[in-house]
């Protein structure tokens, strides 16, 4: 399938944040001008925020970076009626990592557990109803740690039951041009009929690493406004206590 202006790749972002997946497709278009995509919709909602949806920080950032998506935010994933959502080809879902990350309490993401990370199971409704051609999960590496690997495999099994072939790999940002040691698990799922009946014979190849040419100092600004400085009081919080 070739995605052109007449037939763009239709994207829907779940737990979109500022829209990193849409940014990736924009960059892909810069490298390959003949490639086109369309942001058909997204959902982003902070249940702990007291601000109206349109004034929540992530929503403001997404609107600023992707003006074509203004008015297309469906809000709370757990309350969506997917039958009302326009069709799309690619579903990306960077669901919350707080209950999985080593920096959190690691309560997990079991279905029905009520943790923030467990809302991943609401993505299943989108897959059942909309049947997108492609799915892409991005999350912290801890999702495939010894503690959570069984649950991750259960999610893959669920997608297989729904007719998708899965390809998973941990990638590090420093291997792809970003001066940051940041490991993330990526799970790419392809609807089986898109593989032309060659299930078990088709492989998805993740991008190959390449040497890092930038260092952190290459991207940091030489002069920074003092409003971004930490106060002495805040600095004390980072200092070891005697």
Indicate which residue of 11, 91, 97, 120 is catalytic.
97
Length in residues, the chain: 242
Quick one: pLDDT band at residue 235, thresholds 50, 70, 90? confident
How confident is the model over 55-114, as pLDDT tens digits? 999 999 999 999 999 999 999 999 999 999 999 999 999 999 988 987 777 899 999 999
Say if CB 143 and CB 104 are below 8 A apart.
no
Cβ-proximal residues to 87 (8 Å cutoff; 6+ apart), any chain: 10, 40, 130
Identify the structural domains of the chain with CATH numbers, from first to last. 9-211 (3.40.50.150)
**CA-to-CA distance for 123 and 127, rounded, in angstroms?**
7
How confident is the model over 165-207, as pLDDT tens digits? 999 999 999 999 988 899 999 999 999 886 655 555 667 899 9
pTM over 0.75: yes
Q: Is 43 a catalytic residue?
A: no
**CA-to-CA distance for 224 and 111, rounded, in angstroms?**
45
Q: How far is CA 164 from CA 72, 85, 156, 158, 241, in A?
A: 27, 21, 9, 9, 52
pLDDT over 90 at 236, yes or no: no
């Amino acid at each position: 399938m070739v995605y052109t202006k007449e037939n763009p790749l239709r994207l829907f972002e779940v737990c979109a944040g500022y829209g990193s997946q849409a940014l990736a497709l924009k960059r892909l278009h810069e490298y390959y001008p003949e490639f086109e995509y369309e942001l058909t919709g997204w959902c982003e909602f902070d249940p702990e925020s007291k601000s109206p949806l349109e004034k929540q920080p992530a929503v403001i950032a997404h609107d600023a970076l992707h003006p074509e998506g203004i008015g297309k935010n469906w809000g709370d994933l757990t309350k969506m009626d997917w039958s009302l959502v326009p069709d799309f080809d690619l579903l990306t879902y960077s669901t919350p990592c707080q209950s999985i990350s080593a920096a959190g309490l690691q309560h997990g993401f079991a279905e029905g557990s009520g943790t923030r990370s467990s809302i991943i199971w609401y993505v299943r409704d989108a897959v059942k109803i909309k049947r997108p051609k492609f799915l892409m999960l991005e999350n912290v590496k801890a999702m495939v740690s010894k503690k959570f690997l069984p649950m991750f495999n259960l999610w893959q099994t669920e997608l297989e039951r729904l007719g998708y072939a899965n390809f998973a790999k941990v990638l590090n940002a420093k291997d792809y041009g970003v001066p940051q040691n940041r490991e993330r698990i990526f799970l790419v799922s392809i609807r089986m009929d898109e593989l032309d009946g060659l299930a078990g014979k088709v492989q998805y190849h993740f991008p190959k690493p390449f040497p890092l040419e930038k260092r952190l100092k290459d991207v940091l600004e030489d002069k920074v406004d003092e409003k971004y400085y930490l106060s002495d009081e805040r600095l004390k919080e980072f200092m070891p206590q005697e």
